Each structure stands twice: as structure tokens, then as C-alpha cells.
Amino acid sequence: MLVLPNRIIDDDGNVIYNNKGLLDYLYKFKKFPENALFSENDEVEKFNNFSEYFGENAKIIPPKKLKSHEERKNKWFYPQWYDDIDLEVFFTTLCKTDIEKQRVKEELIEYKRTGMEKLLRFSIFLMDYIKKNNYVIGVGRGSSVNSYCLYLIGIHRIDSIKYNLNIKEFLK
């Protein structure tokens, strides 16, 4: 856990704001932080109403609603419509060859088997955000380069088919 002025970044990477931290963010950026968590429960209703009134997609969720690790592990913070993406259709449309399509189907089976489908959805959201804001990313590192799906969306630039990398090395 990282404690910063007016906010905390917990072990799962969630940014949890207190009253002052959230107000500072609103003042600086003129919008809600996406999928904000809020640590002081007395103002939650007020901020949620404000969010709905101005058409923001953020909701402030008191951390007490995310108690155990079991509850938090599937709580990914991205817009809801990413959960509606048909992953097989999404990834196979990015493929150019039958070999690539077969690899995607095999990987999706492994992602589902290991309960990591939300990781793919979050990765799609992350790359959409990165592209929208013109951020630069690196080549890639670690075991994530074993995933052809992550390569297709641009998380890394290592073609795991070309280098015959095994997805199971990533999803151990």
C-alpha cells in the first residue's frame, strides 16, 4: 500500500480518495476520476448524485464494499461495456491467418480456465485509454509476452507465435 497526500494506492492498484483528495481532483481536472473509490462514507451519496447529474460514468464506491481478497479479485475498474465484448470475435477479427485464429482460440480457453478473462477485458480498456491519450509504451517484458492476445491489442510487441512462446508460461 502506498500512502499519498489525500489518497491511498492499495495493493491491488486501486486509488482510494478521501474528501480533500477527490475535491482536489475535481478542481484540477473538472471531472471525476474514472472508477474512483472513496474512503469517507458521509459524502458518497452526494458525489454519486453529482456524477449522474453531469453524465459522468464514475461512481464512488466505499472501500468497505470490497472487503475480502476474494471479493476484490474480480473487481476490475473499467467501463461496464467491456464486459459485453465477445472476446473470441474481438480477437479473431484482429487475426490475419488461420494459425493466428487457432492460437487465439487456444489462449482464450486458457484465460477462461484460469479465470483471467477480466484481465483481457481490462487490457483492451487500458490500450484504448493509452491510444486515446497518445501515451508511449515499451516493447514488453516478462511472461506477458507469451500471450498472443496481449500482442494483438498492443500491450507488448513480441509476436509469441513467431517465437513459439507458450501461453501457459504467462498463466501459471
Beta strands 15-17 and 7-9: pairing type?
antiparallel
Specify the higher pLDDT residue, 84 or 54: 84
Residue 68 has what pLDDT? 54
Q: Mean pLDDT for the chain?
A: 79
- The CA radius of gyration of the chain, in Å to the nearest whole number, is 19
Domain borders along the chain are: 2-72, 80-169
Whether pTM > 0.75 for this model: the answer is no
Calpha distance 147→166 (Å, rounded): 8
Beta strands 37-38 and 2-4: pairing type?
unpaired
For residues 125, 129, 130, 135, the Cα torsion angle rounded to the nearest 10 degrees is -160
Q: Tell me which residue of 15, 17, 71 sits closest to 40, measured CA to CA.
A: 17
Residue 19 has what pLDDT? 67
